[in-house]
Structure 1
Amino acid sequence: MKAKAKIEKSNKDDSLFGLLSSYKQFNSYVRVFDDEEHDEIILAITSNPKFWKNMPESYLSLKELKRLELGVDKLSIKYVEPSHILKTLGPSLGLKIGTDKLTTDDSLKEKGYYCIKISRKSMPKVIKGVKQLINMSPQKKYEILEKSLFSE
């Protein structure tokens, strides 16, 4: 009697999470500050929390909105770097606000963070945009990765 040949199963994961797992080192962290004195909201994003200390003292002295106030479970985005989001969604980071109504502080390459200053009148739009950004589906994350990494 002949011995049956063993069939090796490959552990290749073609699911979306399997494809995203190769980008596990990419993360984005979000903070939202409320500047009541200047009537502004500041949305900041970085790839590593250690870069928060590089932000100007004027930002860090402001009231930071907590995740419960924003209505999200976490303040991070897995598998996507801020540069990928910025390249794909533009300078407003996908917020439904005109670019003439916001001011950007693009210190991503020099200091590791990116900030947007927006009028407090747009607070509901900012909160909604942050929720959409953080709760992005895996398909959307992969689409952002494809557009930013493979369009170079």
Structure 2
Amino acid sequence: MTATAARLHLHRPLGGLAPPAGEFGPIGPPELLAPVMLAAYRGTPDDEGESLQDAVDVLADAMRGGLGPWLPDASFVALEDGQPVGAAFTVLSDDGPCVAFLFTAPDAVGRGVATRLVGRVCQSLTVDGYDSVGLWVSAANERAARLYRHLGFVDVP
């Protein structure tokens, strides 16, 4: 979750994504979302052996502005049958809006959760007057980088 390995900086304009389908909710207390985050990162290149409390602390820090001002109106939980299956946490960085965390529960991978979340974030940021969004991804996380590029993100030179 806090990987310090080489990272890619990616960016995309907000237009061009279909309006997202599905159910979304606001980001709730870190204690409710941390188990999903921890499970999502477990076994990936971003897994550093964090505990559940570490995940709670990372999310709480992000909500307090530790990664830049948190944009709660552009941060969402994806829900299926009322249960969280993923989330997108968006902050304001020096370069503009940035998706700080995007994760999907392991049992929901492959069902378009991340795609819907990115679409919802882009939709919200457009309404708020922004024209682009960025993110950072571990260079070793090839699966995530491939998804982001498929969604229109390009490398920032």
**TM-score w.r.t. length of structure 1:** 0.28
Q: Which has the larger radius of gyration?
A: 1
**TM-score w.r.t. length of structure 2:** 0.27
Q: Higher strand proportion, which one? A: 2
